[in-house]
Structure formats: C-alpha cells, structure tokens
C-alpha cells in the first residue's frame, strides 16, 4: 500500500492554449469563456486583462507568467515545464494569452513542446490584436480600393541571434500590402527609415495604437516619415500596434478614444 499517495489525480490532464483577445474583456469568445471555467490552473500572460479571470473557477490556481519587451519575463522553458508538470499530474491547464495564441504568441512553440511530451493540447482561438486594434480606430486592415492584402510582422528580433529571424524591411516596402507591426515601438525609427529606404513613399499614412481596445487606448496618426517623431512627442509606448498603408487614411479622428491626430502629413 502506498503510504504517500499523490496529492493530484492520476488521470491524464490537458492543456488549452486560450486566446484572450486584444485587450477588451468583452472581446473574449464564448468558447474561451467556457474553457476558462474548466481549468484547474491558469498560466496567464501579462497583457491579459484581469477581468478575463472572472470566468475562471473560484478554486483555480492563477499563475502570472508575464512576458513584456524590456521587462523581466518568465523564461519560456519554465512555462513549458510547468505546463507539462501540471498536465501529467492530471490537471486541466489554461495557458491564457493576449490576442490569438498562434499570432506572435509562442502558441506554436508550446503546442510542439506538449506534443513532444505526449500531452494533449487544444487551441482556443482569440481575436488577434492585428485586426481588432486597427478596427477600433476605424482602420480596416484590408480594403479593396486601398490594399491587396495585409502582412503581419514583428519588429522584435529573436534574442538568440538565429539567422533569418529579422524582417526584410526593403522587401516589405515593395509588397503592396498593409503592414501591421507587432512589438515595433522600440525600433520604430529604424523600421520607418528602412521602409522609406526600401522605396515605400514617405507620405504613406501610418499610425500607432497603444493599449488597443482598452479604456486607456491612445493613438497617433501621421505619415511614415513623421510617425516616429509623433509617437515620441505623444509619449506612446508598448504595448502597441503599428499600421502602415493607405488604409490608415480611413482612421476615425472622431472615435472618442483619445486620438492624437497628427495632421502631419506634417512636413518633416
């Protein structure tokens, strides 16, 4: 007889990769709400609004595993190890991420890690910030008169220095699509200069939107050549989405979301 029984059940657990949407907790999907109520443990990213956790079980264990550029972050290896450990202990685990787990959220990496460990894993999609945040400003990322498509790209290179991980800005300057840039605020001046050097017109409409879809959303609308200066003058920072392309000309200056509209189309 085992004198020291496990404190957790022995049945196989499961991992849910849950997208919490772009910020506004009302933009959660119905499936995300249901699955949050199933979980024994929730590993929650830093950008997830606290109101999302109102849908969790009262007894669920909440573990903050924040990841923010320029801030102290929970190591990815630790997060994946904790996911495996909890699932093998028979627990239902929700890995809660801002936006969609598979759009710059490391959801793909975590699904691969769970597959290697033989742990069941399911994705619960969320509304991506790259679509919802521009929309909150009246900017459609595609419009048949203004863009042939949209390209989502990160402005943050991997810290491990692996080749081929940085965006090819000159190529993107020529692609003819709306550019939606995640994690690009720290290098915005470098990015905009690279796009102009690559041939994208300096007067291309551009905007940056901080804390998108939240009550404290702030934004700047300018041009490609003036965006970095306008963002600095307005004191905008991360988290933010940058949108570059003719669709930004449709930005709603009367949106009531503390829009700082730089009518600069201002001369440099």
Q: Are 264 and 222 in contact (CB under 8 A)?
A: yes
- Its sign, for the CA torsion 30, 85, 69, 179, is negative
Alpha-carbon span 44 to 79, nearest angstrom: 10
Distance of alpha carbon 268 from alpha carbon 256, whole angstroms: 27
How far apart (Å, rounded) are the C-alpha atoms in residues 195 and 181? Answer: 12
Contact call for residues 78 and 25 (beta carbons, < 8 A): no
So which residues are the catalytic ones? 45, 67, 183
The answer to whether residues 240 and 178 touch, using CB atoms and an 8 Å cutoff, is no
| DSSP E strand stretches across the chain | 14-19, 41-44, 61-64, 92-97, 120-124, 150-154, 178-182, 205-210, 218-223, 240-244, 259-261
Angle at 129 between CA 19 and CA 20, to 5 degrees: 20
């Amino acid at each position: 007889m085992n004198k020291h029984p496990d404190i957790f059940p022995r049945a196989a657990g499961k991992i849910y990769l849950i997208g919490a949407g772009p910020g506004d907790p009302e933009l959660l999907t119905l499936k995300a709400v249901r699955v949050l109520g199933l979980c024994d443990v929730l590993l929650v990213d830093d950008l997830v609004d606290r109101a999302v956790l109102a849908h969790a079980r009262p007894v669920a264990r909440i573990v903050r595993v924040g990841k923010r550029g320029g801030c102290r972050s929970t190591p990815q290896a630790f997060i994946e190890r904790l996911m495996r450990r909890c699932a093998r202990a028979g627990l239902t685990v929700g890995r809660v991420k801002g936006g969609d787990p598979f759009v710059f959220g490391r959801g793909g990496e975590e699904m691969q890690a769970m597959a290697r460990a033989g742990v069941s894993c399911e994705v619960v999609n969320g509304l991506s910030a790259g679509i919802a945040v521009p929309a909150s400003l009246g900017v459609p990322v595609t419009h048949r008169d203004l863009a042939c498509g949209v390209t989502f790209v990160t402005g943050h290179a991997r810290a491990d220095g692996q080749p081929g991980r940085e965006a090819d800005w000159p190529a993107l300057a020529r692609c003819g699509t709306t550019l939606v840039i995640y994690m690009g605020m720290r290098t915005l001046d470098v990015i905009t200069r690279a796009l102009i050097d690559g041939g994208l017109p300096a007067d291309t409409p551009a905007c940056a939107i901080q804390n998108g879809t939240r009550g404290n959303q702030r934004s700047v609308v300018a041009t490609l050549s003036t965006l970095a200066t306008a963002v600095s003058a307005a004191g905008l920072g991360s988290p933010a989405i940058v949108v570059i392309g003719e669709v930004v000309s449709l930005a709603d200056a009367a949106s009531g979301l503390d829009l700082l509209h730089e009518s600069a189309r201002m001369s440099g």
